[in-house]
Structure 1
């Protein structure tokens, strides 16, 4: 059999995993704002309460944002320069694959080995999430920066925590504007 046909399934699987692992980010900001004036932050509770995710994931997101801002030299304060809010969206994606190429089959009487087509469709589902991080000027009550991260989420608790950190880290790389890594 052609060598290409033997490595094709592995190649397709690799492409699927690498395309699902990345987080796509974007940011928008008010160009008239001098971001050097901001030194302190606090979380905007009424905005965060509106985010439609469970409280565990909210805490994960907020801890990750706090960690990123502290690493950038900001201080958490009761009288902040910036208010931090979040917003989330998610979409369920269902993929149906037909005519999978395969080797071998298990059935009555033990395994049967050989090349052939598997006519059973394969169905997979994944959840794509979007996380928005809003930074609001606390004095003016105006949005001055918004970061957005889009990517696939994991249902595994350990991987979910890592994934949330990756989302936040990638988004916060865009802040402050002009300082992207």
Structure 2
């Protein structure tokens, strides 16, 4: 029974880490003067996308996810668009050290002792922040920006799935709820 109580905090901690890695934190902002009902088509803004400091493969993954999401929202990809889509990214590596020292203390009697059967767990994760900018094609002004921060997929086979999730969560905020 004692062993169960010793490892309960570790299990809870690992569960919280797993849950927190799955979440995507999103936010958005927009130009209150923009007429979002007038936007029906989009194209990618190549000069902006070229500046994003990620691999070309990840750029393609992000662009595929954006195209899918925008199409699902009723937008048409066009050579003469209403909106230009640009992206930029930031990454942050997190190093967390968790200490579990369940068996330490001092001895009784004449001989003090110290015993530690604990262990340290080092966890490295990379968080990425993706910004999606929607720019009015006529005025060349930013009208909407969405941002999503999440843990990045480590396995190549999971990258597209994770990028899809991040992009879809960001674009859920578009169009803004106008008041």
Q: Normalization by structure 1: what TM-score?
A: 0.85
Q: What CA distance in whole angstroms lies between the structure 2 residues aligned with 1:144 and 1:118?
A: 57
Matches of 1:152 and 1:58 in 2, distance apart?
Answer: 17
Q: Which residue of 1 aligns with 2:155?
A: 156
> Aligned in 2, Cα 1:11/1:91: closer, same or farther, shift over 3 Å?
same
Query: Residue 91 of structure 1: CA displacement?
Result: 0.6
Q: Does the CA contact (< 8 Å) of 1:99 and 1:117 recur in 2?
A: no
- Residue 166 of structure 1 is matched in structure 2 by 165
Distance of aligned partners of 1:31 and 1:42 in 2 relative to their CA distance in 1, 3 Å threshold: same
Residue 29 of structure 1 aligns with which residue? Answer: 30
1:109 corresponding residue in structure 2 = none
Task: Spell out the pairing of 1:86-125 with structure 2 (5 A cutoff).
Answer: 86-99=87-100, 117-125=116-124
CA pair 161-8 structure 1, distance change in 2 beyond 3 A: same
Counterparts of 2:88 and 2:60, CA distance in 1 = 13
**Is the contact between residue 93 and residue 125 of structure 2 (CA under 8 Å) also seen in structure 1?**
yes
Paired position in structure 1 for 2:139: 140
Secondary structure in 2 matching 1:121: strand
Unmatched tracts of structure 1, length 5 or more: 103-115
Query: CA 1:101–1:44 in structure 2 vs 1: closer, same or farther (change >3 Å)?
Result: farther
Paired position in structure 1 for 2:109: none
CA-atom RMSD, angstroms? 1.9
- Find the structure with the greater CA-based Rg: 2
Q: CA deviation at 1:3?
A: 5.0
CA distance in structure 2 between the partners assigned to 1:118 and 1:129 by the alignment:
36
Structure 2 CA distance, aligned partners of 1:7 and 1:33? 52
Q: Which has the higher strand share?
A: 1
* Residue 43 in structure 1 maps to residue 44 in structure 2: yes
Q: Residue 154 of structure 1: SS of its match in structure 2? A: coil
Asked if the contact 2:42/2:81 (under 8 Å) is kept, the reply is yes
- Alignment of 1:131 onto 2:130: yes
* Structure 2 runs not aligned, ≥5 long: 104-114
2:40/2:75 contact within 8 Å kept: yes
Runs of 4+ with deviation above 4 angstroms? none
TM-score (norm 2): 0.86
